[in-house]
Amino acid sequence: MVSFDFSGKNVVVTGASRGIGRAVAIKMAEAGARVLVHFQKNKKAAAETLRLMSQPKRGSHFALRADLADPAAIREMVDEIDKEFEKVDILVNNAGIFEPQAIDMNFDDWADAWQNTINVNLMGAVHLTYHIARRMVKSGGGKIVNVSSRGAFRGEPDHPAYGASKAALNAFGQSMAVKLAPDNVQVFTLAPGFVETDMAEDFLKGDTGEAILKQYPGGKVASPEEVANAVCYFASQGQEMASGAILDLNGASYLRS
């Protein structure tokens, strides 16, 4: 088992009610952090994340609802975070949506799907990073980990807005890594392939499941815990020189030069 130490750290994890976000929140709590569990809709699932984090000596964790597509809602969430955390040490921009877009859709549906995806997957992370990074600079530093996707590189023909949003998130993270380096704030990006989450379940267990597994020479996709280990690795002390890096985490299913 990989071991980490986040004792005394305050952590914000978006999309933490399930999947990768839940695994990150639990692992960081186990390592001593105090964690904000962000969720957008599923309060019951967020409560379950908190329950799984509520073992003795894991600190006082809490959950907040916010629509990351709404800049005003992000500002309100940050105001609530300020009431709980004296500072934020680690931000994990994990929340994302995966809506289909096809050129045979009517234009209004096409435009809405693109706008929704960009607003959540890209602009939500952009606006939250704006608020949290400013606080990190004032408090002497911090770490930001963005969860992207291999789709940013290989393309997403049935979900082009998703691929485009993640490619933009990659560029945003690298830009911020350069900009924030003098202020001791490091920014990292992970690009997983398919992960065994609720969002991917229909693809992995449906008609496309066999074809997806054939993309993976190891015959399996990642677990949320494997991705959480990588998030925690970047967020740990001693990995500062990896700032600006984009780590492929796709089991050699897609290799890029």
- Sequence-distant (6+) residues with CB within 8 A of 149 are 96, 162, 163, 166, 191, 192, 193
Does any domain span residue 1? no
Structure tokens at 130: 């704006």
User: Which sequence positions are flagged as catalytic?
Assistant: 162
Q: Which residue has the higher pLDDT, 158 or 181?
A: 181
Amino acid 56: pLDDT: 47
> Using an 8 Å Cβ cutoff, are 191 and 149 in contact?
yes
Banded pLDDT at 200 (limits 50, 70, 90) = low
Does any domain span residue 256? no
Does any domain span residue 254? no
- Specify the number of domains making up the chain: 1
Does any domain span residue 2? no
Q: How large a percentage of the chain has pLDDT more than 70?
A: 95
pTM of the complete model: 0.94
pLDDT digits (tens, 9 = 90+) for 18-76: 999 999 999 999 999 999 999 999 999 999 999 998 654 556 899 999 999 999 999 99
Does any domain span residue 257? no
Does any domain span residue 179? yes
Does any domain span residue 181? yes
